[in-house]
Amino acid sequence: MIRLLLCMLMLFSTAAHAEPGTVYLRGGRIFEADVVTPSQQSLVAVIDGERLEYGWHQIADVRGQAAGLVRDYLTDAETAWRGLSRLERGDVVAAEPLLERAFAKYGTQVGPTSEAVATGLLTCRVARGAQALAVEPFLCVLLNSSDVSQSEALDENLKLYQSLPPIWSTDSGLTNMASRIATDNFAAWNGDRRTRQLAELYVTAAVFQINGKAPLPDFEPADDGVRFVYEIVASRIGDAPIREQFRGALKLRSERDIPKWQRAWIHAAVGNSLLRESDNRSSRLGIVELLHVPALYHQNQPFLAGVCLSRSALTLDRMSREDEAILLATEFQRVYRTHDAAQSPEMKQLIRKANERIAAQNTNEEDA
């Protein structure tokens, strides 16, 4: 009797969440579905035995018997759609706050709506140079990717986001990013091994940026993409032998036939690693590595190029090479005026020196 009652309960429960209805998609398509089943991430419609799944950002309305089932989902669905449609039109400024609201709802879930919202928010934040805030949606995109269905936002081979190396110019946003991602011992990312490993590596790099020290995670990288990020992080935060070991690994990687974005990441990583050494020769070599990025990869990696140019200028200033430092600061201000590296007190002071020198030169030319 109990088993029969449980079976009836399951039957009625299923029936209560699946009804026929008229589905209205964004873009104008309308169709009659034999069965409409909503869930947190999607709406499933069955038409003549064919099962179709749509993210909520694709749903405009559902009418008929199923209307009551989907009513509670439509407000968040519209927020996601409005954000994504504005992004599609190129209005990043208007899209980001809408996608932030949608991301707060769908967050680190797995499903088509979460993937679309996370991809959109990632695009917005990288576009305005908010690289620290872009890490969480990036990880959510990874969580929704697989060998069968990989996000178009990710590099095809390494499955990384080309504009998001674990390298930043300032501490801005890093504490918040690290604490959110590491909540409950990275519990949100446990559904996928490589996503969990990349979450640990990005947080480790952020903690080192903030505190100047961080333990290197102890794991075997899940694939070559994770290994690449591991090499970058280890080359900066490890002790001297570890740094040298992973600079060597990055140099070997650069001998492969790899795309420009990977070469830019390698130059930046090796340069940052060399700047941690105590001798002037390593510092000079580090500056040379860093300057490859703005010189050769500005179009492909504008944020990273700004990081490398500002870091080179500041290092030269610490080495008492003021003329060269001011020259680089002048170029930084000309090309990367809105870059967040310009907000550091040291860079502000160097830019002020550059402006004073330019003003003095202009005065001398007028007097002549």
What would the pLDDT profile of 36-92 be if each residue is shown by its tens digit? 999 999 999 999 989 999 999 999 999 998 899 899 999 999 999 999 999 999 999
- Mean pLDDT (the chain, rounded): 91
Q: Identify the pLDDT of residue 174.
A: 94
> What mean pLDDT is predicted for residues 146-161?
82
For residues 245-254, average pLDDT: 97
- Quote the CA–CA distance of 274 and 282 in Å, as a whole number: 5
Measured distance CA(119)–CA(99) in Å, rounded = 10
Provide CB contacts within 8 A for 230, sequence distance 6+.
197, 201, 217, 221
Please report which helix (H) or strand (E) contains residue 66, including its range: none
Mean per-residue pLDDT, 328-342: 93
Q: What residues pair up with 52 in beta bridges, in sequence order?
A: 45
End-to-end CA distance of the chain: 105
User: Taking 90 as the threshold, does the pLDDT of residue 11 lie above it?
Assistant: no
Percent of the chain with pLDDT over 70: 93
pLDDT of residue 368: 54
Which has the closest alpha carbon to 31: 74, 64, 73?
Answer: 64
In whole angstroms, how large is the CA radius of gyration of the chain?
A: 25
Supply the pLDDT for residue 152. Answer: 82
Q: Look up residue 89 and give its two tokens.
A: 């039109």
Helix, strand, coil % (nearest 5) of the chain? 65, 10, 25
Confidence of residue 17 (pLDDT cuts 50, 70, 90): low
Which backbone phi and psi does 173 adopt, to 5 degrees?
80, -10
**Element housing 34 (H / E):** strand 30-38
Q: Is the pLDDT of residue 96 over 90?
A: yes
Determine the 3-state secondary structure of 279 from DSSP.
coil
Q: In the predicted model, is pLDDT for residue 35 greater than 60? A: yes
pLDDT tens track for 258-287 = 999 999 999 999 999 999 999 999 999 999
Predicted local confidence at residue 10, as pLDDT: 35
Q: Report the alpha-carbon distance of residue 341 to residue 337 in Å, rounded.
A: 9
194-248 pLDDT, tens per residue?
Answer: 999 999 999 999 999 999 999 999 999 999 999 999 999 999 999 999 999 999 9
Q: Has residue 332 got a pLDDT over 60?
A: yes
Confidence of residue 354 (pLDDT cuts 50, 70, 90): confident
Tokens representing 356?
């004073």
Residue of 89, 100, 208, 194 whose CA lies nearest to 146: 194
